[in-house]
Structure 1
Amino acid sequence: FMGHNPTFAVGRYGGEIQLDSDNREVDSMLLIAQADKLSLLDKVSAKDAAEIENTMREEVLEISRHPEIVFVSRDVSMRQIADNRYAIKINGSLSLHGETRGRTIEAEAEISGKTIRAQGEFKLKQSDFNIKKVKALGGTLKVKDEVEISFDITAEI
C-alpha cells in the first residue's frame, strides 16, 4: 500500500449543463460533488475500508469545513470526432478543500437523443489545494501528492 492511491467513487453529485440554442454545443457546465459521499472501491476488509473512508473524509477533505467539491466552466470547446461523438476541452475552476484553482479538463462526449455522456480524466496535486499528507492503516497507506481523477458522467439534456 505504500504510495498507493486508493480508488473512490462519488456517491452523490449533481450539476447543470447549458447548451446553445441548437443543442449542439455546450455553453457552460457546473458540477457539484458531495465530499461526504465518497466510497472506497478497492477490495479490502470492511474494517480497513471504514478507516480509509473516514480518514479521507475527516483528515484529507475535512468535510465538516468543505462539504462540496465544485467545478465551474469558463469556456467549453467541442470538436466532432464521429457521429454524435465529440472531443471536449473545458477550461474552468475547481474548488476543493476551500481552495479554487484553474483547471483544464479534456473529455470525450457522446450525445444520444436527450442524453450526454462524458468520460475523461485529469491529474491534480493535493498540495495545490492545501491538502496535507495523511496516513491510514497504521501508516501502511500513504497517498501520493498527485492523484488521478477519472469520470464517467451521464446527464439528461
Structure 2
Amino acid sequence: MKFPRAPRHATNAIAAIALFSPWLVGATTTDQAMTKDSPSVDASSTTYVVSEQKSSVNILVYRAGALALFGHDHVMTVGALSGKVRVGPAQSGFDLSFPVAGLIIDDAAARKAAGRDFASEVPQADRDGTRHNMLLPEVLDGEHYPQITLRSAQMSGTLPDAQFVVHVQIKDVTRDIRVPATVTIDGKELTAKGQFDILQSDFGIKPFKVALGALEVRDRLVVNFRISAQAQ
C-alpha cells in the first residue's frame, strides 16, 4: 500500500518535535551543555547560530508615580545579540548574550512597533538622559558588568508551543525565569518568538526614580523577542 507524501510544513514540524524530544518530557540540560568549554558535542545534534540582523529583542520600560504624565515610556532595543542554539536527541539548549552598552534607547521603528503607549516622539536629550541613568551603578552598572547572559535550563510542552526555564544573569545575580515561546524549524532556519516579564528588583536593581518617587520607572519590564538562528 502506498502512502501519500507528507506536505513540507508537516515534515518540518515532525522533524522539530523529534529533535526537541529530550525537552518535551522536561529533561534538564547539564551545566556544560551549552558552555564554551563543553568537552564534547552530540554528533547527531544541529547547531544554529543566532542572526543579529534577523533577530529582534525589545524591552518595554513603563513610567509610574504621581508625575508619570511628565515622563516617557521607553523601548530599549537589544543590539549585538549573539549566541547559539543546539538541537539534538541527547543534548539541546541555548546560550545568548548581549552587551549592555549596545542597548538602543527609543529607536523610532521599535517604538512604532511597540504600540500606542509608545506613539509619542522622545527628544534626543531625554534619550541621552535615559541611557545615562540606565548605566548607573545602581541600575545596570555597564562599566563593571558589560554583558547580560541567558542560558537555557529546561523546556516543556509540545512544539511549536514551548515553555523554557532560563538562567538570566544581570550583573552578579542569576535568576530562573519561565519564558513561553513559539519555536519553529523551517529548513535551516530556527525561529523562537514570545514575550515575558522581568522584575528589576529580582536582580538587585533599584528602579530609577526622581522627586522622591513622584516620577519613577516601574519595577516590571516587558520583553518581546523574535530570535532567528541559522544552521551551521
How far off is 1:71 after superposition? Answer: 0.8
Alignment deviations for residues 14-45 of structure 1 (CA, whole Å, 9 cap, x no partner): 11101115xxx981011111111111125311
How far off is 1:141 after superposition? Answer: 5.1
Greater Rg, structure 1 or structure 2?
2
Alignment deviations for residues 56-95 of structure 1 (CA, whole Å, 9 cap, x no partner): 1234211111111111111223513xxxxx1121112110
| Matched positions, count | 148
1:48 aligns with 2:126: yes
In structure 2, the residue matched to 1:13 is 81
Alignment of 1:105-144 (within 5 A): 105-135=179-209, 142-144=216-218
Calculate the TM-score normalised by the size of structure 2. Answer: 0.58
Alignment CA distance shift 1:15-1:2 (3 Å): closer
1:35 aligns with 2:100: yes
- Structure 1 unmatched runs, 5+: 81-85
Q: Distance in 2 between matches of 1:99 and 1:58?
A: 16
How far off is 1:111 after superposition? Answer: 1.5
Q: Distance in 2 between matches of 1:113 and 1:97?
A: 37
Does the Cα contact within 8 Å between 1:72 and 1:94 map onto a contact in 2? yes
Q: Which has the higher strand share?
A: 1
CA RMSD of aligned residues (A): 2.4
Structure 1 residue corresponding to 2:168, chosen from 82, 94, 99: 94
Does the Cα contact within 8 Å between 1:17 and 1:26 map onto a contact in 2? no
Q: Distance in 2 between matches of 1:77 and 1:116?
A: 18
1:66 aligns with 2:150: no
Alignment CA distance shift 1:124-1:150 (3 Å): same
Q: Distance in 1 between matches of 2:191 and 2:215?
A: 33
Q: Distance in 2 between matches of 1:26 and 1:141?
A: 47
* 2:98 alignment partner, SS class: strand
AA partner of residue 129 (structure 2): E
Alignment CA distance shift 1:46-1:29 (3 Å): same
Q: Which has the higher helix share?
A: 2
- Structure 2 unmatched runs, 5+: 1-61, 65-71, 112-120
Structure 1 residue corresponding to 2:135, chosen from 57, 61, 70: 57
* 2:158 alignment partner, SS class: strand
Structure 2 residue corresponding to 1:76, chosen from 155, 177, 181: 155
Does the Cα contact within 8 Å between 1:2 and 1:140 map onto a contact in 2? no
